[in-house]
C-alpha cells in the first residue's frame, strides 16, 4: 500500500512540472509595467489596460515594488454568483475574463483594497499566474473588541473597541461602520491575544447569541408555497426571529452587551465579530471560475471579506507559498475559508502555504449535490440547487459524467449519465439533457453529483493554525494526499464528511493518504470530537469512505480523542506517534484515542501511544 | 399658435398608424397557443418555448382565455439594473430579448404572479405588442391597515389588519410577510375607503415617521472617502438612523403603533404601507429597455411591486387602453408609478388609459443628468451616475448628441458633442469617447444630458386619479401634448420640473400643450402648491421652460391655487374655466389662482373664473 501512494505523489508532480513548462512556452503579448504614480488609486489604470487585452495582448503585468491602493469607485463591475459567498455584484480592478497565459507579478508589492471589491476576478481563462504580492484591506470586514469586564449577576459583558473599528448603536444593536460597508455583531468567536489563536474552550462562550424566537405573528403560517422553500435563504433570514442582545455605550469606545445566552466571555480575550451570516461574505481575494491552470505563488492574503481563494469548475490549480495571515495587529485574517474548491478537477495542489487566523476552514474540497425535481423527458431532468450558497452554480459541462445518488440506498451512485447540455433557467433551477436515456429506477427526489469534477488533491508542507473551524474538509472520491503539514485548529484538523442534506456538498472520500503530518492541540474550542473525523450526516450503515491511510503522523494533543471513523470500508492507521501536550486542561478525559462506528476492514498497527488515554479504542470495541 | 400644436398632434398620429401597419406586415414564425392545462404554473412552459425563439421563430403567443398562475421557481433569470427600482436579479416568464415583430395576446386572460417576478421583461427588441390581458399578484407588495382607534394623550393609533396581510413583530417593528417577500411598515399614506382615493389632507398625518436619529456613534465621522459618496444609496440607508416606532399586538390582527411624530391618523381611514424606500420596488409589471416599438393594448395592471411599466432607452412606445387599477378590494394598484420613461425617443403615446390608485406618479418622462468627474483625454470623459436609482443606466448610444450643462449658468446646454463610444465600467462610472474635441470651457463638475433621447409625447383621453403623488412629470424639451384627460391627484396634476441636484432627472420642458383637460380637486393631500407647476430646484433666474400653452381646460378645485410658474419664457394660459368644487374645505384660501416667479412673456386671456379666489395673481404681481 505504501508504494501505491508514493507512486501517486510522484505522478502528480510529473504532470505539474510538465504543465508549468508548457505554460511558459506559450506566452505572447506585451509586458505592462505599472509604477507608483498610480498608487493612490491604481484601479482606473489597471482596469483600462486590462479591458484592452483582446486588442493588445499582454503576457505579463508587473508592478514596481511598493504599496498600491485600489478603490471600487472606478473598478470594473460584473455580475456573478460565487459559491459560499453572498454577493452578486463584483467590483474588481483585475477582471481577467478570457485571458490566457498571463503572469501578474507584484514584485513584492502590497495591494490595499477599500470596501466591497474582489481583487482578482478570473473567469473562463487559461494558465494564469499571480505572484509576489500581498493583499490587504484598509478597513476590515470584521471588528474586534477586547473583553474588559463581565457581570454574572446582570449577565452582561463589556467590550473596549478601538478607534479602528468605528461603530454606532441603533435601537440597542451595534453596527460597525466601514468605508463602503457595515456589519452587525453577528457571527463571533473569541481569540486569545497571548496565543493569537482561537481561545481555548470558546464554544462555552461563543458565538454570542444574537437571535431569539419572535413571539408575535399573525396568519404567517397560512402562507402556502407551491414548491420546496429554503428557509435558510436570505429572504427568510429573519422570519420568526428577533434580536436578543441589547448593547449600550458606557463611554466612547466602551460598550456593554446584555442578553447573551451562553457563558460570559472572560476578561482579556478578544471577540471577533463579522456580521450576520449570509450577508458577511462579499469580497473574497481571488474568485476563480472556469479556469484551466492557475498558479498562485508567493502571495500573502492578510484579509478578505470572505475567502482567500474560491475556485469553482476549474482545473489544475497550484498554490505554492500562498499564505493567509493577519496584519495590522488584527487577530483575524480572512473572514471565511482560506481556500475553497467546488467542482474542481485535474490537480489541486497546496504546498508550502501558511493558513493562519482565518475565520473558517483552511480548505474545503467538494462537489455539489443537486436534487432532481422534474423528469422532463426520456433524457431530460429539472434539478434544483438545494443550498442557497450554491445558487447559480452550474454542476457540469457537456460530456461530464453525472452520478445518480439515492442516499437511503448508498453513498455511491446507483447509476451514471453523461451530459449533453445544461440550460440555466435560474439560480435554483436548471434543465439537464443527457446523452443516454434515464434509468428506470431514477425518481424525483434523487440527487445528482458530477463524478468528473473531483481533483487529484495534494496538500503538502503547509501550516494550518489559529483559525476558526477546521483545517481541511475533504469530500473527494478521487485521490488525496495530505503530507508533511502542521495542524493546530480549534475544530477538526481533517474532516471527511458526506454532508448531503444540510450543505449539499458532495463527495464521499476515497483513496486518502494522510502521512507525516503533525497535529498540535486540535479541537481545543470545546467540541467533544476527534482530530481526524470521517462522518456522514445520514444515519445509516452504508459505506461512505474507502481506502484511507493515516500513517507516520505525530499527534501532540491536550486531550485523548484522535480519530473518529464511521461508515468506512478500508482504513489503515499505522506508525503514528501520540503524546500529550499539557497545553490545556483535558475536556474529555474519558475518551479513548479512536472511536469507530459502522465500519469494516480497519487496521491499526505500530502506533506509539505516549498520551494520557487509558483506552485506545472504546471499551466495547471488539 | 393654435395651428402649430394641432399640426403636431396630427403628425404624431400619422406616424403611429403607419408604424402599426408596418409591424403587422413584417411578422413571421409560428403562432403558439397556450391553454389552461398549464394554468397552475404557466412559467415553465412559457419559458421553455420563449427560449427556443431563435431556432423556432414566433409571430404570436396566445393564451386561451382564463386565469394563469406564474411562480418564480422555474422562471427565467437575468441580471439587470432598472431605473427607479431596487433589484438587480430579474425572474420572469417572458424573457423577450432580441425578439422582433411578436404579439402576445392574452385573449382576455388574467395572469396571477407569485412573489418577486417581472411579468414582461423586454429588452433589445423591436415591434413588440402585448394585448388583452390582466396582471395581478397573489400577495401584494404593500399592506393595508384600517385605523380603528387613536389616543392623543398616549400618542398611539391602532390598526386592524386583515388575514390577507400576515405579519410578525420583531423587536417592536412590524413586518408584513408574503409569499417569497416581506416588508416593513416603511413608506405609508392614508386612503379614504369611501372615496377609494388618497385621504384629504393626508400630509398632516403621513408618512408615518419610522426613523429618528441614532444618537450613539463612535469614530464614524473619521471615515474618509476618496470620491463622492451618495449617502442616499442603500449601503448607507440606515447610517445614523434608528427606528422610532414601537408596535405591539393587542390581539391577533389588531396592533397598536407608538411613536408616530405627525398627527395621529383618523379612525376609519386605511393606512397603506409598502416597506422601506430603496428596498420596496422589485417587481414592475413591464420592464422595457432598448426596445424600438412597443404597443401595450387593453392591458389591466392591478398590482405590481414597483411600476406598471418602466421604459428606458427605447423608442416608439404606444400604450392604448393600458390601465392601472386596483383589484381584490385593495386600495392600492401598483406600489410605484403607473408608467415611467427614461431616455426614450421617437414617440411616446398614452391614450385611453386609466391610471388609478398607484402609489406614485401616473407617468414621469425625463432623461438623466450625469456628472463629469474626469477629463481623460482630448475627447474622453469619465462620468458618474449621481442618483442611486439610476445606477447602471447607460446614457447614450453612438452618434447621440450630448448636451453639456452648467446649471449655475443656464438650464440649457452651453455646448454639445456626439458620442463615439461608451465604455461601461460600473453602475456609477462610465467612460464616454466623443467624435469631437471637448470644448475648452468644459469643467469637471459640469453635467451631461442626452439631447437625442427625449420623445414626442402625447397623453390623450386618460383618467389619472386616486393615486399618491403627481399625475404627469414632464421633463421634455421636445414636444408634449396633454389633451382631453381627467386628473384628480393628491399632488400636482402636472409637474414640469428641472430636478438637477436631487433626482438628477434631466429635461427642461419646452413646447408643451395642455388643452381640453379636466382637473378635479388636485393637490388635496395638504401641500400648498398649484395644480400645474413649472419649477426648478436651482435657485436662479435662468429660463428653464419655453413655449407652454395651457388652454381650454376645466379646473374644478376645492382650493384656489391652479398654476405656479417659475423660470419660464413664453406661456399662454387661455380659455380655461375655473370653478370651486366644495368637495373639501379650503386649506389655503389666501392663495391667488396663479403664482409667478422669474418669468417673462406670459399671456393670460379669456379665462373664466367662477371659483372662490379673490385674486387671479398675487397682489404684488404687476
Interface of B with A in 380-439 (CB under 8 A): 382, 423-429
Greater model confidence, B13 or A587: A587
CATH of domain B2-139+280-360: 2.160.20
pLDDT of residue B445: 96
- Contact residues, A window 99-138, toward B, CB-based 8 Å cutoff: 114
pTM for this entry: 0.94
- Maximum distance among all alpha carbons in chain A? 71
Max Cα–Cα distance, chain B, nearest Å: 71
Which residues 151-190 of B are in CB contact (within 8 Å) with A?
161, 163, 165-171, 175, 177-182
Which of B332, B371, B373 is closest to B355 using CA atoms? B332
Query: For residue B255, what pLDDT is reported?
Result: 98
Give the 3-state DSSP-derived string for B96-123, with helices as H, strands as E and coil as C.
EECCEEEEEEEEEEEEEECCCCCCEEEE
Per the CB < 8 A criterion, the answer to whether B294 and B272 are in contact is no
H or E stretch including B19? Answer: helix B2-26
For residue A515 the three cell numbers come to 502521512
Say if strands A429-434 and A380-385 run parallel, antiparallel, or are unpaired: antiparallel
pLDDT of residue A407: 86
The Cα–Cα gap between B608 and B554 comes to 9
Cβ contact (<8 Å) for B223 and A77?
no
pLDDT tens profile B375-404: 999 999 999 999 998 999 999 999 999 999
What is the CATH topology of the domain spanning A367-450? Elongation Factor Tu (Ef-tu); domain 3 (2.40.30)
Specify the pLDDT at position B165: 98
- Decide if A239 touches B, using CB distance below 8 A: yes
The verdict on a CB contact (< 8 Å) between B426 and A243 is no
Q: Which grid cell is B266?
A: 383618523
pLDDT at position B14, please?
36
Band of the pLDDT at B620, cuts 50, 70, 90? Answer: confident
pLDDT recorded at residue B11: 38
How far B303 CA lies from chain A's nearest CA (Å)?
Answer: 19
Spell out the domain ranges in chain B.
2-139+280-360, 143-217+229-273, 367-450, 454-610
Answer yes or no: are the C-beta atoms of B405 and B367 closer than 8 Å.
no
- Complex ipTM, two decimals? 0.93
Task: State pLDDT tens for residues B322-381.
Answer: 999 999 999 999 999 999 999 999 999 999 999 999 999 999 999 999 999 999 999 999
Q: Considering only alpha carbons, which residue of chain B is nearest residue A222?
A: B166
Residue B485 C-alpha, separation from nearest chain A C-alpha, in angstroms: 41
The stretches in chain A having pLDDT less than 70 are 1-27, 87, 500, 622
**Res. B500: pLDDT tops 80:** no
Grid coordinates standing for A315? 482545473
- Cβ separation A74–B226 shorter than 8 A: no
Cell numbers at residue B171, please?
423587536
pLDDT tens digits for A600-611? 999 999 999 999
Q: H-helix or E-strand containing A322? A: strand A315-324
CB neighbours of residue A412 within 10 Å: 14
Confidence of residue B27 (pLDDT cuts 50, 70, 90): low
Side-chain half-sphere exposure of B49, counting CA atoms within 13 A = 20
Chosen from A73, A141, A237, A433 to mutate, greatest number of chain B CBs within 10 A: A73
Cross-chain Cβ contact A220/B180 below 8 Å: no
Q: How far apart are CA A588 and CA A594, in angstroms?
A: 13
Using a CB-CB distance cutoff of 8 angstroms, which residues of chain B are in contact with residue A167?
217-220
Residues with Cβ within 8 Å of B473's Cβ and at least 6 positions away in sequence, in order, are: B361, B363, B364, B365, B366, B495, B496, B497, B505
Contact B399, B509 (CB under 8 A): no
More confidently predicted of B276 and B87: B276
Give the pLDDT confidence score for residue B622 in this predicted structure: 63
Q: What is the rounded distance in angstroms from the CA atom of residue B520 to the CA atom of residue B144? A: 26
Cβ of residue A251 closer than 8 Å to a chain B Cβ = no
What is residue A265's DSSP assignment? P
Q: Residue range B314-322: average pLDDT?
A: 98
A2-139+280-360 and A367-450: same fold? no
Q: Which of A47, A139, A426 sits opposite B76 (nearest CB)?
A: A426
Taking the C-alpha atoms of residue A102 and residue A24, their distance in angstroms, rounded to an integer, is: 9
Confidence of residue B198 (pLDDT cuts 50, 70, 90): very high
pLDDT at A299: 98
Percentage of the residues of chain B whose pLDDT score is greater than 70? 95
CA–centroid distance for B318 within its chain? 17
Residue A178: closest CA among chain B residues belongs to which residue? B223
Backbone angles phi, psi at B485, to 5 degrees: -105, 165
Using only the alpha carbons of chain B, give its radius of gyration. 24
Average pLDDT over residues B275-300: 97
Contact A569, A597 (CB under 8 A): no
Cβ neighbours of A71 in B, within 8 Å: 226-227
Q: Is any Cβ of chain B less than 8 angstroms from the Cβ of A91?
A: yes
The answer for residues whose C-beta is within 8 angstroms of residue B543's C-beta and 6 or more apart is B410, B411, B412, B567, B568, B569
Amino acid at each position: 500500500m505504501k508504494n501505491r501512494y508514493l507512486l501517486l505523489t510522484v505522478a502528480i508532480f510529473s504532470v505539474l512540472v510538465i504543465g508549468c513548462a508548457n505554460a511558459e512556452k506559450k506566452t505572447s503579448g506585451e509586458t505592462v509595467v505599472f509604477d507608483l504614480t498610480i498608487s493612490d488609486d491604481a484601479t482606473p489604470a489597471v482596469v483600462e489596460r486590462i479591458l484592452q487585452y483582446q486588442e493588445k495582448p499582454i503576457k505579463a503585468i508587473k508592478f514596481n515594488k511598493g504599496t498600491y491602493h485600489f478603490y471600487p469607485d472606478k473598478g470594473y463591475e460584473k455580475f456573478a454568483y460565487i459559491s459560499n459567498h453572498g454577493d452578486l455584484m463584483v467590483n474588481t480592478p483585475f477582471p481577467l475574463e478570457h485571458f490566457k497565459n498571463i503572469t501578474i507579478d507584484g514584485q513584492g508589492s502590497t495591494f490595499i483594497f477599500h470596501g466591497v471589491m474582489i481583487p482578482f476576478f478570473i473567469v473562463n481563462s487559461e494558465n494564469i499566474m499571480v505572484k509576489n504580492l500581498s493583499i490587504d484591506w484598509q478597513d476590515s470586514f470584521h471588528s474586534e473588541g477586547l473583553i474588559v469586564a463581565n457581570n454574572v449577576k446582570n449577565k452582561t459583558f463589556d467590550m473596549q473597541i478601538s478607534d479602528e473599528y468605528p461603530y454606532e448603536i441603533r435601537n440597542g444593536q451595534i453596527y460597525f461602520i466601514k468605508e463602503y460597508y457595515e456589519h452587525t455583531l453577528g457571527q463571533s468567536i473569541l481569540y486569545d491575544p497571548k496565543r493569537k489563536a482561537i481561545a481555548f474552550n470558546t464554544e462555552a462562550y461563543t458565538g454570542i447569541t444574537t437571535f431569539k424566537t419572535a413571539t408575535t405573528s399573525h396568519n404567517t403560517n397560512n402562507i402556502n408555497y407551491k414548491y420546496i422553500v429554503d428557509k435558510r435563504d436570505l429572504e427568510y433570514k429573519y422570519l420568526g426571529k428577533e434580536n436578543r442582545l441589547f448593547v449600550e455605550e458606557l463611554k466612547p469606545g466602551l460598550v456593554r452587551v446584555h442578553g447573551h445566552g451562553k457563558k460570559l466571555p472572560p476578561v482579556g480575550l478578544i471577540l471577533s465579530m463579522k456580521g450576520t451570516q449570509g450577508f458577511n461574505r462579499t469580497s473574497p481575494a481571488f474568485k476563480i471560475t472556469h479556469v484551466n491552470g492557475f498558479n498562485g505563488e508567493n502571495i500573502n492574503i492578510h484579509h478578505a471579506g470572505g475567502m482567500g481563494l474560491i475556485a469553482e469548475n476549474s482545473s489544475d490549480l497550484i498554490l505554492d507559498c500562498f499564505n493567509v495571515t493577519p496584519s495590522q495587529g488584527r487577530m483575524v485574517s480572512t473572514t471565511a475559508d482560506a481556500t475553497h474548491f467546488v467542482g474542481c478537477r485535474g490537480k489541486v495542489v497546496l504546498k508550502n502555504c501558511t493558513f493562519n487566523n482565518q475565520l473558517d476552514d483552511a480548505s474545503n474540497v467538494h462537489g455539489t449535490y443537486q436534487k432532481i425535481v422534474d423528469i422532463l423527458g426520456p433524457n431530460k431532468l429539472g434539478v434544483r440547487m438545494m443550498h442557497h450558497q450554491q445558487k447559480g452554480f452550474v454542476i457540469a459541462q457537456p460530456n461530464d459524467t453525472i452520478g445518480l445518488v439515492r442516499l437511503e440506498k448508498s453513498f455511491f451512485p446507483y447509476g451514471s449519465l453523461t451530459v449533453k447540455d445544461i440550460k440555466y433557467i435560474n439560480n435554483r433551477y436548471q434543465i439537464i439533457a443527457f446523452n443516454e436515456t434515464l434509468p428506470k429506477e431514477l425518481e424525483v427526489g434523487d440527487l445528482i453529483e458530477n463524478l468528473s469534477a473531483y481533483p487529484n488533491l495534494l496538500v503538502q508542507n503547509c501550516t494550518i493554525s489559529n483559525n476558526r473551524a477546521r483545517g481541511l474538509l475533504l469530500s473527494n472520491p478521487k485521490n488525496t494526499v495530505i503530507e508533511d503539514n502542521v495542524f493546530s485548529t480549534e475544530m477538526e484538523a481533517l474532516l471527511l464528511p458526506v454532508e448531503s442534506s444540510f450543505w449539499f456538498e458532495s463527495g464521499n472520500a476515497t483513496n486518502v493518504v494522510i502521512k507525516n503530518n503533525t497535529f498540535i492541540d486540535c479541537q481545543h474550542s470545546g467540541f467533544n470530537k476527534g482530530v481526524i473525523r470521517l462522518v456522514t450526516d445520514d444515519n445509516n450503515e452504508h459505506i461512505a469512505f474507502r481506502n484511507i491511510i493515516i500513517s507516520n503522523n505525530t499527534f501532540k494533543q491536550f486531550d485523548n480523542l484522535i480519530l473518529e471513523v464511521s461508515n468506512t470500508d478500508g482504513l489503515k492507521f499505522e506508525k503514528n506517534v501520540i503524546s500529550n501536550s499539557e497545553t490545556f486542561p483535558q475536556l474529555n478525559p474519558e475518551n479513548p484515542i479512536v472511536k469507530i462506528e459502522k465500519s469494516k476492514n480497519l487496521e491499526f498497527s505500530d502506533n506509539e501511544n505516549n498520551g494520557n488515554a487509558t483506552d485506545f479504542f472504546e471499551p466495547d470495541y471488539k
